[in-house]
Structure 1
Amino acid sequence: MTAIVGEALVRRLVDWGVDTVFGLPGDGINGMMEGFRRHRDRIRFVLVQHEEAAAFMACGHAKATGRLGVCVATSGPGAIHLLNGLYDAKLDHAPVLALTGMQETGLLGSYYQQEVHVDRLFADVAEYNLMVTNPAQIPGVVDVAVRTALTRRGVAHLSLPNDIQVAPAGVNPYRHLGPGEPPHGMPDGVRAAADPTDADLRAAARVLNQGTRVAVLVGAGALGAGDEVRAVAEALGAPIVKTLPGKAVVDDDDPLTTGGLGLLGTRPSEELMRECDTLLMVGTSFPYASYLPAPDRVRVVQIDHDPSLIGLRLPVEAPLTGDARRVLRSLLPMLAPRDRSFLRRYQRRARAWRAEMAALCDGGRTPIAPQYLMCCVDRAADDDAVLTCDSGTVATWAARHFTIRGGRRFYLSGNLASMAPGLPYAVAIQLAFPGRQVIAFVGDGGFAMLMAEFLTAVRYELPIKVVINNNNSYGQILWEQIVLGYPEYGVRHHAPEADFAAWARGCGAFGRKVGDPHDLPGAVRAALAHPGPALVDCTVNPNEPPMPGKVSYDQAKSFTEAFLRGQPHKAAIVANVTRDKLSELRSRATR
């Protein structure tokens, strides 16, 4: 097996006598995690609940042993969480090495998801602080970092971009793994104006009117402009695609929408991006360019309040700067009616997709299917409920099975994609809207990080409802490792499974633990009806994969390779994938 940089890093740590590292996996450090897995007989990876705890553990290890303490965290939010424990090491003169991830070098500077320059963030806390940009720097910079931490009795920090971690060890030079498209600079004509001029609007209308297969992509910047989005889509005969932060722009069962886009999106939306010839982007600079149309075969109109966000992913022919609602209202009278056959085609595909998703809400499956848990919440929640969601597999289930309708709202950490915001979001939103039903849909990993905030809700008498999708693992990272072609490692907790309902009852609130699917609907209804804070801790199937709307050849190939390399739970995973696909096929057969 080819040695990768993540493995070379781990080997050098072992050479220095490091036998234990504390951390939490994430897609920003999968190369490092593979290195730890390959050398698990020589170095122990201690899986923690929160990155802050990992830094404190490394500091305590250094204080007690006089040896180097090591902690590891993913890019963006994971690395940020380390800071408190690292400052403890700095101020108490304990030698600690922090290892963090970073986005791929070819994507830096493009406002990509979780693009936080951790080396700058750690400038005050670290005695030695470097972002590695060449595989050949390992192991030399590891030596310098370790020596600095030990001799200066402080913190050293190395940040490794994703493409560096998985590059062959020792390669110099290396090839950047960018998006494979030429960069798109700031389009001509973009101004920091409050509203576009008539000439700008006419230019945009001309592009849209000339399109024969028009699609509308809306994001969080279009929230509150749902009526205007619908009116423009009706005029253009255009299906509406929603980013996950823009899920509440229009109702999920609206006949104009095909649903979400991206890894958590729908098959019709992905197909639409491949077929449209004109794209109207409203309030989004959607970062996942691989899901967008090819730049050379689509004309783009983009509306955003911030002109610096226009043209980041695709060349924009007609930029419009301003408030989405006002701009769409001004644009609407300039749009010409057109044939609606393209829209009708995607309406049929969207109906078929919704039927397939409904078929997965099967209450007869044991262990409980996570889709069924979300469906139970969806069916019982108020029409104006607010759902807050953590990052991870829970975001997949919420994206596909929590239906925006009426006055419902949906919030999650979008670009940062941090774990654990669901519970604190719910506390804050319930304080702001005391009369609304607020539900936090969270994973066991995210809840365990900040579970003390449930006690905050009890103390302030906030009637939030917490529903825990408990798979006793870091489910999203598990599947990301498999898709990369690596067997899972460091992502499942050992028995016993946590009983968070007991914690809720200990706080003086409603708490119910559920493992039988027949008990689930009643437990959810009881929690939602409870006048105070309530929590349902549901044991779900840990081997239920959050499958993309369309599975690419590369994804299927990596998935198969991981199985051949010894995926430990392959039988259960195959059974679940097969069962899900059979449910979808039965749904198609009945239409």
Structure 2
Amino acid sequence: MVTTASDVLVDTLIDWGVNTIFGIPGDGINGVMEALRQRQDKIRFIQVRHEEAAAFMACAYSKYTGKLGVCLATSGPGGLHLINGLYDAKMDGQSVLAITGQHFHDLIDTHSQQDVDLDKVFMDVAVYNTRVMGPDHIETVANLACRAAISYRSVAHITFPIDFQTEKVTKKHSMHNVLHHTSDVRAHSAQLPSENDLLRAVEVLNAGKKIVILAGRGALRATTELEQLAQKLGAPIVKAMLGKAAVPDFSPYTTGGIGLTGTKPSQEAMEDCDTLLMVGTSFPYMEFLPKPGQARGVQIDIDPMRIGLRYPVEVGLVGDSRRTLQAILSLVEPKEDKSFLEKAQSGMKDWWKLMEERGTRQDKPMKPQVVAWELGKRLSDTAIVAADSGTNTTWWARQIPAKQGQMHSVSGTLASMACGLPYAIAAQIAYPERQCVAFVGDGGFSMLMAEFLTCVKYQLPVKIVIIKNNTLGQIKWEQMVFLGNPEYACELQPMDYAAFARACGATGFTIDDPATCGDILDQALATPGPVIVEAIVDPHEPPLPPKITLNQAAKFAESLIRGEPNREKIIFTAVSDKVRELI
């Protein structure tokens, strides 16, 4: 049998441990598709309905498994559609390989159909980015692309001219001629920071009296070490959004999230601390961190470029979070005074009472917090939860507690809408026996809602809970609170998402009454196959920050004065939520 360049490409991916590729066929990748067809027993091709979803799925696959995610798209518009999901992977530090088709090599840059120089388009998003220059070129570049994506925890891209894909390889090298390692070997094997740097960091931590630990995505595999260090230092653990599952939300050592979607105890801990230890995060919102000069700082990160980005730390420790924390634990002195942690723990008791109060309200229209609260109580201990970007992110962050053994994620740094459903699909493909749930808004879901058909096609039992408020809620509140403007162009044309589910050949439920919310969620979670639950909620419920600033209150009031069309309803909701200071 003739060995083609496409055969070599796919065999190389298999050698790197890749067993799943997300994408859509197209004439620009026909050669690659044939190689995949011949190797169906070794590598799955998951056909999606939009290439953007394929890139999101590859990103999520990497997030949830720690392995290389791969997406495939045809030339021109197919490759261009990948961009958003690839930036999601780049900005959240995930290993993704994108493979795109390209025109016949002798027609490139001749104004031919779909003649887009995708290697130029991908210059910013990819750490390794190349165009295949001939059939004998593919093996080396494929190995380098896989190695780069995994080693740098980022995006690699290969664009492959269509005529080269089916050409015979004349000089196939041995796989051992190119240095590589298996796809699950990541930066977790990185060397520890130097002994001198560790001792300097320990000196800062030993001197602190009010220490806060800020944990992010780099700390997801360091749960035990985080809790042991929190106990030893008397330090509350605050979690960046991508670090939601780093420590269970009901752990006595955590105050939950930070930022606009965070908790009041987290914010107060940041405002009062004298020492900040950042672990596996470069949390982007500096306004929620201690003021410069207020606290001494230590930061652990595998990427030296991220150290000191948000807060002026004294000691930067370049290394794997888990191993570095283990080294610190053996050196740091235990604190006798645990009053700072105890204050945070007391604050969290009050915070959870508030969350339960908001999550059990019986108002109509139904509050979105009720849906999140009821769902959170019903998720299995090994559930994988994908959120989307919007007001739903706040309810996910606060009302759906992360349990030990669960995984939670979202488009963190890019904060892209439409990620929730593709994320959940990738999770279900990676873990067919686990409960996988997408918690999304109607705005984000409708952007890539055709991917629900992917669930039906592959009989993936993904459960999608849609917070339906018929508005781009987050954008609406940003217009009002950030600029003092009345909402504009945020209303969405309503549709029946439960009926859409049934039209796709699956199951749909509708919830509009808080009294029946729990029972309907029980039915939905117990229903075999893919399910959509549309939860019709109050569109005027604001995703309030944990502490409202005077400027936010002033802008909010200004937006009402300047002609906010739903002024009376918003005022009623705000008053009923005991946030009279806003109005």
Number of the residue aligned with 1:439: 437
1:193·1:321 contact (CA, 8 Å) conserved in 2? no
2:366·2:513 contact (CA, 8 Å) conserved in 1? yes
The number of residue pairs the alignment matches comes to 407
SS at match of 1:293: coil
Q: Distance in 2 between matches of 1:517 and 1:294?
A: 42
1:242·1:260 contact (CA, 8 Å) conserved in 2? yes
Is residue 382 of structure 2 the alignment partner of residue 377 of structure 1?
A: no
Unaligned runs of 5+ in 2: 1-49, 53-75, 82-90, 94-115, 119-188
1:248·1:409 contact (CA, 8 Å) conserved in 2? yes
Is residue 304 of structure 2 the alignment partner of residue 307 of structure 1?
A: yes
Number of the residue aligned with 1:486: 485
The counterpart of 1:521, out of the listed 518, 522, 536, is 518
Is residue 460 of structure 2 the alignment partner of residue 459 of structure 1?
A: no
Q: Distance in 2 between matches of 1:87 and 1:244?
A: 28
Number of the residue aligned with 2:231: 234
2:331 corresponds to which letter in structure 1?
M
1:301–1:86 Cα change, 3 Å:
closer
The counterpart of 1:386, out of the listed 377, 384, 387, is 384
Number of the residue aligned with 2:218: 221
Q: Distance in 2 between matches of 1:306 and 1:560?
A: 43
Deviation at 1:194, TM superposition (A): 2.3
Q: Distance in 2 between matches of 1:563 and 1:276?
A: 36
2:247·2:404 contact (CA, 8 Å) conserved in 1? no
SS at match of 1:581: coil
Map 1:140-159; keep pairs closer than 5 Å: none
The CA RMSD over aligned residues, in Å, is 2.5
1:363·1:518 contact (CA, 8 Å) conserved in 2? no
SS at match of 1:344: helix
Cα deviation code 1:554-580 (max 9, x no counterpart): 111100111110111121112112222
Cα deviation code 1:81-127 (max 9, x no counterpart): xx959989xxxxxxxxxxxxxxxxxxxxxx899xxxxxxxxx979xx
Q: Distance in 2 between matches of 1:345 and 1:513?
A: 42
Deviation at 1:402, TM superposition (A): 0.4
Number of the residue aligned with 1:5: none
SS at match of 2:502: helix
Instruction: Compute the TM-score of the two structures, normalised by the length of structure 2.
Output: 0.67
Q: Distance in 2 between matches of 1:516 and 1:460?
A: 32
The counterpart of 1:333, out of the listed 325, 330, 335, is 330
1:361–1:582 Cα change, 3 Å:
farther
Deviation at 1:493, TM superposition (A): 2.2
1:363·1:372 contact (CA, 8 Å) conserved in 2? yes
1:572–1:124 Cα change, 3 Å:
farther
Deviation at 1:514, TM superposition (A): 2.1
Number of the residue aligned with 2:285: 288
2:213·2:278 contact (CA, 8 Å) conserved in 1? yes
Is residue 550 of structure 2 the alignment partner of residue 559 of structure 1?
A: no
Number of the residue aligned with 1:548: 545
Q: Distance in 2 between matches of 1:414 and 1:216?
A: 19
Number of the residue aligned with 2:318: 321
Deviation at 1:582, TM superposition (A): 8.0
Number of the residue aligned with 2:275: 278
Map 1:42-441; keep pairs closer than 5 Å: 84=77, 194-338=191-335, 339-441=337-439
Q: Distance in 2 between matches of 1:522 and 1:438?
A: 19
State the identity as a percent: 48
Number of the residue aligned with 1:182: none
Deviation at 1:581, TM superposition (A): 2.2
**Structure 1 residue ranges (4+ consecutive) displaced by more than 6 angstroms after TM superposition:** 85-88
Cα deviation code 1:434-466 (max 9, x no counterpart): 110000011101111111111111110110000
SS at match of 2:278: strand
2:358·2:369 contact (CA, 8 Å) conserved in 1? yes
Deviation at 1:408, TM superposition (A): 1.4
SS at match of 1:567: coil
1:363–1:557 Cα change, 3 Å:
closer
SS at match of 1:403: coil
Number of the residue aligned with 2:14: none
SS at match of 2:508: strand
Number of the residue aligned with 2:137: none
Is residue 567 of structure 2 the alignment partner of residue 570 of structure 1?
A: yes
Number of the residue aligned with 1:175: none
Instruction: Compute the TM-score of the two structures, normalised by the length of structure 1.
Output: 0.66
1:228 corresponds to which letter in structure 2?
E
Cα deviation code 1:397-431 (max 9, x no counterpart): 00000011131111100001000111011111100
Q: Distance in 2 between matches of 1:432 and 1:124?
A: 32
Q: Distance in 2 between matches of 1:417 and 1:542?
A: 21
Q: Distance in 1 between matches of 2:316 and 2:465?
A: 42
1:370·1:540 contact (CA, 8 Å) conserved in 2? yes
1:387·1:439 contact (CA, 8 Å) conserved in 2? yes
SS at match of 1:295: coil
1:488·1:567 contact (CA, 8 Å) conserved in 2? yes
Q: Distance in 2 between matches of 1:548 and 1:582?
A: 11
Deviation at 1:363, TM superposition (A): 4.2
